[in-house]
Amino acid sequence: MNDMTKAIFTGDRCLSCTSCMASCPVMAAIKDYRGPKLVAPAHGRLHFSQADIETTLEFCSNCKTCDRACPSGVAVSTLNMLQRAEYYKTHKHTRAEEMLAHNERMANLIRKIPFGATFANIGVNIGKTLNVFDKLGIAGERNMPTYAATPFKNLFRRIKQSTSGKKIVLFTGCYINDNEPQVGEAFVKVMNANGYEVLIDENFNCCGSPLVSMGFLDEARAHAGNNVARILDWKKKNIPVVTPCTSCSLMLKAEYHELFGEDVMYEAAQNVYDAFEFLELLQERGEFNDNLKPLNQKFLYHVPCHLKSQAIGLPAVNILEEISGVKVQTADADCCGIAGNYGFRKDKYEISMKIGKKLFERVKQKDFDKVISDCGTCRIQIHHGTDIKPCHPIEILAEAY
Amino acid sequence: MEKATVVIIGGGATGLGILRDLSMRGVKALLIEKKDLINGASSRYHGLLHSGGRYAVKDKEAARECIIENQILCKIGKGCVEPCGGMFTRLDIDDPAYEELWIKGCADSGIEATPITLDEAFKLEPRLSRKHVKSAYLVPDAAIDGFRMAWQLIDSSRRYGGRFKTYTEVIGFDTVNGELRGVKVRNQFTGETYEIGCDIVVNAAGGWAGFIGKLAGVEIGVQPDKGTLIAFNQRIVNHVVNRLHKSSDGDIFVPHGSITILGTSSMSIPDPEDTSTSRAEVENLLKIGEQTFENLRDFRILRAFAGSRPLYIPPGGASGRGASRGFAIIDHERDGLKGFFTIVGGKFTTFRLMAEKICDQICAKLNVTEKCRTAEEPIVPEVSQADKERARKFFPSYGTELAATRLGVERFKRVVERLESDVESRELICECENVTRAEVEEICKEDTIFNIDDVRRRTRIGMGTCQGNFCSFRATAVFADMGGNSMAKDSLVRLREFLQGRWKGIRPVLLGRTLRESEMTRSIYELSMNVTGGEPQ
Ligand SMILES: Cc1cc2nc3c(=O)[nH]c(=O)nc-3n(C[C@H](O)[C@H](O)[C@H](O)COP(=O)(O)OP(=O)(O)OC[C@H]3O[C@@H](n4cnc5c(N)ncnc54)[C@H](O)[C@@H]3O)c2cc1C
Ligand code: SF4
Ligand code: SF4
């Protein structure tokens, strides 16, 4: 890769056209944020002048809408995250940030609360029932994420698969592993039906997406190093790495090399696929198993921002419409507002809900049987904002086999 | 009749240095500039405060002058000098024998040249060509901003009673029996002509010095020597990066605030008014520049510009790069014209020294015994830390330091007050260079501002990434509102001439992203405002 094509240098491409500002959902929700073009590309030229920090950068949710709006290929959000990490070199993280960046700490905390998991699993309201999270700076209005009794890792060992020459490695991702193992199970079922044996690699770390957006860049860098080495290992064996979590896949495919600029990261990215992207590839090669039970249902599809950023179209729509009787309509309502851990922060909760309003209203029209979305936190947000529980599109596909 | 003891012609670095020096010695001096200050070479230049390294082989005298003045300006010019340091790099295609001569030259001239390893060089300047760079040295080069320096010299002179007039052209002289009595001037806007009485006239008109000589009936050998420069959108370098070889075209990169300037060339031209640049010149500079920085063409170019060095050619001397970069002071009493002095040549770096030398001669004539103090006293006082701290709450981030040096103590205070009390004045007029409306308003109110380019030179609006796309109409509106003269009200004309000025520098670099930027400008102004900029120039 030529140095100059690396994301960290793309600020120079900015034409100052303002498209990113016009499309940033956070800017539309709150005036206090200075906005993408003024932070990353514009300030990037001025860093030489004094030691300083753009404090309103804390408002950026890393939803990456700006990157997609940019006609010049500026990696605006990545530059923002790099700046955020600079800030944390001299500032301490709050406890909420610590907690929200580290999935395992959140899980441990919940397990420590007497009956924590039970409360969580009946979907209690964090703030009202247990003041713990509220005090930490985590939005009290949120329901505690539900934790599965058995993480997917353990469930997986019990799944019987026939061996196959065609193999893929599932990058499970934290949310599927800890909270929604049924998505993992559905994934295995779908892959098996397509003649693939699914492997999992217990040496993978969290992809690092929550770490990046909370400014723990060094930790994210360490995760990236490990994961990239693992991916390249699988690549040598000609086994692709596939994930149904769109934030994980974006991280592995694009954000690693955007943030850290190493050629190996770019190389590893070539071996990573979003689940439906992979299925679409099979379809193109005529290898997709289209022996599907009909399903007379209408789905409302919320396309996650981090899927849009992968620029692979809407493979889930294409694949689901292989099922006879299935109709998929996109919600077409922009960002849901949660942006990973962003909407869990007490001070960002309101912004998050304001951004999600358009989507909530769309969902509340209820002119469909089910809402689907590939992203775990998008699903949390939709559920929270509408009381309607969405599922992952792979669960629908699994039903049809 | 208006009177002054000394009239100085030319508001470039040289003339301004003289105004300050004389004013500090208590001499009543008046500077006359035909356009805005630094209309000539003093803004159309590279912005390098030479360590002297560039002259260490060919002209040790000039090298020695440079290093001494460099140290003085770093001390007195904190508001306009960026002590970024410099690096000399020899490439594989450069003569190693020259390196030896250069090391010796630096030692002889008192320039500290510290050899560094290539690893260190690449760490300091990551974009240097790993393929071509063979050796590297650090020298005390710095960057100096002509725009800020000019107005700081004015602020300094004013404190001592110095006066100046811009947009006033000298069109003739009043002499009686071979003795100068005054100058004839014309107001550029009203066309009104009048005389200013004086005892002494200093011709500091740079490349125009020969024309001024003609007006006075004396022959002065000044050859305008055009140099072209390219401004890049960001800092490509952290230090001034020089090629370690016999001085040539396109071999210096200067980090100039938010941008980088690459230059320059050398071409004798008949008229210093010619500041045109061409695609061919740009291409030539890029070709040479990319020997040092391989990926140079991947960096976004903002514009190209050109200025003319006032090279002094003593009868029978060489021109172009062969001509001396030294300066000359001529007392035209030798030509039978008493009270008329010319100062030409030299460098921006040595303007203070040049001023000191000529002011010594003038003071001797006037029987003024005050000594020169320009080397000791800072040009302007620094804005206090307390004021900057207070300002940081209201300024955009990364905006305080730059605005503080642009504005100086008094204006800065007023701008901070304005930002504090009027929330809307915090909005940015220029988003690329981070200029608030409060600052633009403060400058627009001054009686030296007649057009948007004048505002630009004071604030840096229109000089960043978008080259005026968004600030042009905003600044025009502020000027129309705040400007104290009739020029301000004619806003459509002001907008047009400003856009034309921006366009002039963009045209020769209309490639890649710069082209895309231009198309956006065109659509904003032509399609939505019906401003086409008039006839092409
Ligand atoms: C391309 C280039 C790069 C350079 N780079 C460097 C560098 O990096 N470092 C360095 O030290 N030096 C550099 N120099 C040299 C330096 O810029 C000049 O030596 C210096 O600026 C000359 O200043 P001056 O005041 O003598 O002339 P000028 O700045 O040209 O000023 C002359 C002024 O006289 C005015 N004038 C003309 N006629 C009249 C009239 N009839 N009435 C009233 N006013 C009039 C003009 O409008 C003009 O403003 C460079 C020069 C060029 C051209
Ligand atoms: S990542 Fe999202 S929130 Fe952040 S600047 Fe871009 S569009 Fe706005
Ligand atoms: S959309 Fe891209 S080019 Fe336009 S202002 Fe934003 S970063 Fe710059």
Q: What is the CATH number of the domain that holds B20?
A: 3.50.50.60
Beta bridge partners of B509: none
Residue B53 is predicted with a pLDDT of: 97
Do B505 and B422 fall into the same domain?
yes
Do B172 and B238 fall into the same domain?
no
pLDDT in tens, A56-70: 999 999 999 999 999
Do B421 and B506 fall into the same domain?
yes
Residue A199 is predicted with a pLDDT of: 98
Does B70 fall in a domain? no
Does B458 fall in a domain? yes
Strands B86-91 and B133-139: what pairing?
Answer: antiparallel
Do B487 and B440 fall into the same domain?
yes
Residue B67 is predicted with a pLDDT of: 98
Q: What is the CATH number of the domain that holds B139?
A: 3.30.9.10
CB neighbourhood size of A333 (10 A): 17
CA B472 from centroid of its chain's CA atoms? 22
Tell me what ipTM this predicted complex has.
0.92
pLDDT of A71 over the 60 cut: yes
Taken in order of first residue, the domains within chain A and their CATH numbers are: 3-90 (1.10.1060.10), 95-136 (no CATH), 152-282 (1.20.1050.140), 289-400 (3.40.50)
Does B239 fall in a domain? yes
Does B237 fall in a domain? yes
Q: Given B258, B516, B520, which is nearest A45 (Cβ)?
A: B258
Calpha distance A277→A315 (Å, rounded): 6
Residues with CB under 6 A from ligand 3: A 14-20, 36-37, 41, 69-70, 72, 74, 76
Mutate to test the pocket of ligand 2, among A39, A43, A54, A64 (most ligand atoms within 8 A of CB): A64
Does B79 fall in a domain? no
Q: How confident is the model at residue A145 (pLDDT cuts 50, 70, 90)?
A: confident
B128 contacts in A (CB within 8 Å)?
none
Calpha distance A68→A115 (Å, rounded): 43
Please answer whether residues A79 and A41 qualify as being in contact, where contact means their C-beta atoms are separated by less than 8 angstroms: yes
Do B334 and B418 fall into the same domain?
no
Residue appearing with tokens 């010095």 = B209
DSSP secondary structure letter of residue B254: E
Do B214 and B350 fall into the same domain?
yes
Q: Given B295, B298, B397, which is nearest A53 (Cβ)?
A: B397
Per DSSP, helices labelled H in B238-350 are 279-292
Calpha distance A321→B126 (Å, rounded): 51
Calpha distance B262→B291 (Å, rounded): 13
Strands B2-3 and B193-197: what pairing?
Answer: parallel
Please answer whether residues B152 and B73 qualify as being in contact, where contact means their C-beta atoms are separated by less than 8 angstroms: no
Residue A118 is predicted with a pLDDT of: 59
Q: Given A15, A37, A54, which is nearest B517 (Cβ)?
A: A15
A324 phi and psi, to 5 degrees? -70, 140
Residue appearing with tokens 């605005």 = B403
Residue A14 is predicted with a pLDDT of: 95
Do B205 and B339 fall into the same domain?
yes
Mutate to test the pocket of ligand 1, among B8, B21, B42 (most ligand atoms within 8 A of CB): B42
Interface check B426 vs A, CB under 8 A = no
- What 3-state DSSP class applies to A216? coil
Q: Token digits for B439?
A: 């600052």
DSSP secondary structure letter of residue B278: -
**Helices A393-400 & A275-284, crossing angle to 10 degrees?**
50
* Chain A (65-124) residues lying within 8 Å, Cβ to Cβ, of chain B: 72
Query: On the CB side of A217, how many CA atoms lie within 13 Å of its CA?
Result: 18
Of residues B277 and A146, more confidence is placed in B277
Q: Token digits for B273?
A: 């008014």
Please answer whether residues A287 and A223 qualify as being in contact, where contact means their C-beta atoms are separated by less than 8 angstroms: no
Please answer whether residues B434 and B402 qualify as being in contact, where contact means their C-beta atoms are separated by less than 8 angstroms: yes
pLDDT in tens, A3-13: 667 888 899 99
Do B289 and B215 fall into the same domain?
no
- What 3-state DSSP class applies to A159? coil
Do B209 and B97 fall into the same domain?
no
Going residue by residue through chain B (537 aa), what tens digit of pLDDT does each one get? 999 999 999 999 999 999 999 999 999 999 999 999 999 999 999 999 999 999 999 999 999 999 999 999 999 999 999 999 999 999 999 999 999 999 999 999 999 999 999 999 999 999 999 999 999 999 999 999 999 999 999 999 999 999 999 999 999 999 999 999 999 999 999 999 999 999 999 999 999 999 999 999 999 999 999 999 999 999 999 999 999 999 999 999 999 999 999 999 999 999 999 999 999 999 999 999 999 999 999 999 999 999 999 999 887 666 555 556 589 999 999 999 999 999 999 999 999 999 999 999 999 999 999 999 999 999 999 999 999 999 999 999 999 999 999 999 999 999 999 999 999 999 999 999 999 999 999 999 999 999 999 999 999 999 999 999 999 999 999 999 999 889 999 999 999 999 999 999 999 999 888 999 999 999 999 888 888 766 654
Ligand 1, atom 48, lies closest to the CA of B40
Q: Token digits for A384?
A: 């929270």
Give the mean model confidence (pLDDT) for residues A246-256.
97
- State the smallest CA–CA distance between residue A378 and chain B in angstroms: 33
Amino acid letter, residue B56: A
Calpha distance B485→B449 (Å, rounded): 9
A50/B434 touch (CB, cutoff 8 Å), yes or no: no
B397/A2 touch (CB, cutoff 8 Å), yes or no: no
Do B258 and B115 fall into the same domain?
yes
Do B411 and B474 fall into the same domain?
yes
From B286, B310, B334, the end of a domain falls on: B310
CA dihedral A138→A141→A144→A146, nearest 10 degrees, is: -140
Residue B321 is predicted with a pLDDT of: 54
Q: How confident is the model at residue A116 (pLDDT cuts 50, 70, 90)?
A: low
> Which has the closest alpha carbon to A181: A209, A155, A207, A160?
A155
Mutate to test the pocket of ligand 2, among A61, A308, A334 (most ligand atoms within 8 A of CB): A61
Residue A135 is predicted with a pLDDT of: 75
The count of domains in chain B is 3
Do B306 and B173 fall into the same domain?
no
pLDDT of A123 over the 60 cut: no
CA of A215 to the centre of ligand 2 (A): 15
B263 is in which domain, residue-wise? 84-143+224-310
Give the mean model confidence (pLDDT) for residues A112-126.
60
Please answer whether residues B463 and B406 qualify as being in contact, where contact means their C-beta atoms are separated by less than 8 angstroms: no
CA of B186 to the centre of ligand 1 (A): 21
* Chain B (183-242) residues lying within 8 Å, Cβ to Cβ, of chain A: 233-235
Does B316 fall in a domain? no
Q: How confident is the model at residue A281 (pLDDT cuts 50, 70, 90)?
A: very high
Residue A99 is predicted with a pLDDT of: 86
> Which has the closest alpha carbon to B350: B113, B8, B17?
B17
Interface check A384 vs B, CB under 8 A = no
Q: How confident is the model at residue A147 (pLDDT cuts 50, 70, 90)?
A: confident
Residue A117 is predicted with a pLDDT of: 60
Ligand 2, atom 2, lies closest to the CA of A63
